[in-house]
Chain A
Amino acid sequence: MLPYLTRRAVHSVVALLGLVVAVFFLARLTGDPTDLFLPLDASREERAEFAHKHGYDRPATEQFVHFVGDVMEGNLGFSLRKQRPAMELVLEAYPTTLKLAAVTLLLGISLAVAVGALAAYRPGGLFDRVGSTGSLIGASAPDFWVAITAILLFSVSLGWLPTSGTGGFLYWIMPVTVLALRPFGLLVQVVRGAMLDALASAYVKTARAKGVGESSVIYVHALRNACLPVVTVAGDIAVGMVNGAVIVETVFGWPGVGKLMIDAVIQRDFAVVQASIMVTAAAIFLMNILIDLLYVALDPRIRHQ
């Protein structure tokens, strides 16, 4: 196990470095921030001066050498917009993203497993129809539409929930629900499919024949064997979430790394793009390692080379 982990860690670091280099050069293909940052009517001289001061007038390779030098000194660059260390901005925003992702995943996955498993128990039955159709509707609805309609309904008309912002339990309800809709919908489908296979398999029949109770059949025997695709897809969703959730972040005023990154890409704030990718990519790589380890834990026959 340890040699595997070491090798995996080394590979991941190499891939991460490759990613940072790729992002550095690709970001610079998307245009020069000078025109975006300066007032619309800035003069030619002023544009030239600004570009020179920030090095945008030099070839990308030269800028890269400069960047590497800075990184060696522990300087990951300054945000052009905010004039603050880019990494500081990312680390300020990241806890929000992680909190939101953790709660949403926990809720989304457990609910999806329960609903998906029950739906598979009687395919074509009422619960299956309602459960899987309902979850799909949630998954395919435009999230900003759901978010704003929810605010208009639950905050403005009914007055049950605060519109937006951070705070106690009530503040979490709408953002988490909206964010969970899509993962929930996808997972219900996957759980249902995997369970259909598992329920038809020989060992479930054996379990039934042995007189094991139905709920035990579903949630222990079948689910255990259905969990591989479920874990993979759930992992995939989790990876997507540590990348941020722009719509929920912007609509509900929970600015996390998703909004930070989008703004940075739009504004060509390269340092922030790089810093946020370094952080989110590290999280994603770590998560993928954990998921792969989870496979082995769930099914000891799986070996990792």
Chain B
Amino acid sequence: MSAPANNATSAATIAAAIADTRAIAAQAEMVTVRKGLPWWRLLARDPLALCAAVWLVLMLLCMLAGPEWLGKAATDINLRARNLPPGSTEKGWIMFLGSDALGRSMLARLVVASRNTLTVAFTAVVVAMLLGGVLGLIAGYIGRGVGNLIMRLSDVVQSFPSLLLAVVVLYMLEPRVANLIIVLAVTRIPSYLRVTRAQVLEIRERGFVDAARAMGGSSTHILWRHVVPIVAPTLLTILTVDFAIVMLAESGLSFLGIGIQPPEITWGLMVAQGRNYLTQAWWLAFFPGLAIMITTLSANLLSNWLRLVTDPVQRWRLEAPKTAVKTNA
């Protein structure tokens, strides 16, 4: 592979060329197009990415205000309204998604649970990516003693059953959110570490890295400017899928009696609790599962979109009109 700088220039030329043809057709937009469309315009052009962004903003709001807003509805038990199917309206909009085995509003519980769920999943995944990424950079770039040590430690962590780790941490300490994050993050680190290291091993043999080294670039400079940008997209891709994996891992822990327990709520816990009702009240496990799914999808769609926007080679796909995409693909 040649240096990305070349790619960037050639792509920029193409993009500019396309922009020029567009500009002839749409004089009024010329200035903005030349500078590149602002991000919200780009977002508006990709309806799926837009939906994803809207959902994530919605989740953010639920996370910030959910427990204060619907906290009472999420914990009020009403045994006469148990297992109401979705679409029930006689108890008001709050029961729109049905009620659980204790007659609590599913909607309210989903909203309230978003805080714990997203805090745990986001923090765990990001911490794992940062730690794994940095250790992977070190292991791949420096190699030798330190690198070997890091890799063998990573093998150990990978071989250590996550359940045992969870039992150890949550048994010794309280099953609190912070401790759960530690457990989930530690078990995910090796994935990021290995992926980063593998790519660094390859990248550091490329011509431009040698060139940068020859020009006296420091290691941190080379890593940060030349290596990280190439590794980051893959890590981000894994990160978005990991979102789901971490939320479901948390569900598994709850089911076994480790991890977060009632009266706290997470989507994972709701999925675990709904397990007994799969044949009788499918919505108990379905909606929290759906929430996990949509959030993961949104994160993924948005990160793919972000990747297109930030990648000079690909950005034209968003900026160009649909017909151009077809002819150029």
Contact = CB atoms under 8 A, between A and B. Distances in A.
Direct contact of A and B (CB under 8 A): yes
Interface of A: 11-12, 14-16, 18-19, 22-23, 26-27, 29-31, 121-125, 129, 132-133, 136-137, 139-145, 148-149, 152, 182, 185-186, 189-190, 192-194, 196-197, 200-203, 225, 228-229, 231-233, 235-236, 239, 243, 246-247, 261-262, 265-266, 273, 277, 280-281, 284-285, 288, 291, 295, 299, 301-303, 305
A232 B156 contact: no
B272 to A, nearest CB: 9
A262 B163 contact: yes
Contact of A149 (B160, B163, B201, B278): B278
A231 B198 contact: yes
Interface in B199-255: 199, 201-202, 205, 230, 233-234, 237-238, 240-241, 243-245, 248, 251-252
A261 B161 contact: yes
Interface residues of B, number: 71
21 contacts: A12-B155, A19-B159, A22-B156, A27-B164, A30-B167, A136-B241, A137-B293, A142-B285, A149-B278, A193-B233, A201-B1, A228-B198, A229-B198, A232-B195, A243-B161, A265-B167, A280-B159, A281-B159, A285-B155, A299-B202, A305-B147
B314 A196 contact: yes
A30 B152 contact: no
Interface of B: 1-2, 6-7, 11, 46, 48, 143-144, 147-148, 151-153, 155-156, 158-161, 163-165, 167-168, 171-172, 190-191, 194-195, 198-199, 201-202, 205, 230, 233-234, 237-238, 240-241, 243-245, 248, 251-252, 256, 271, 275, 278-279, 285-286, 289, 292-293, 296-297, 300-301, 304, 307-308, 313-314, 317, 325, 329
Given A19-B159, A228-B199, A265-B161, A142 B248 contact: yes
Given A26-B164, A200-B314, A302-B205, A186 B241 contact: yes
A164 B272 CA distance: 21
A236 B190 contact: yes
B293 to A, nearest CB: 4
B256 A193 contact: no
Among A22, A203, A281: residue with most chain B CB under 10 A: A281
Nearest to B151: A288
Contacts of A233: 191, 195, 234, 238
A232 B279 CA distance: 39
Contacts of A189: 237-238, 240-241, 300
A13 B298 CA distance: 43
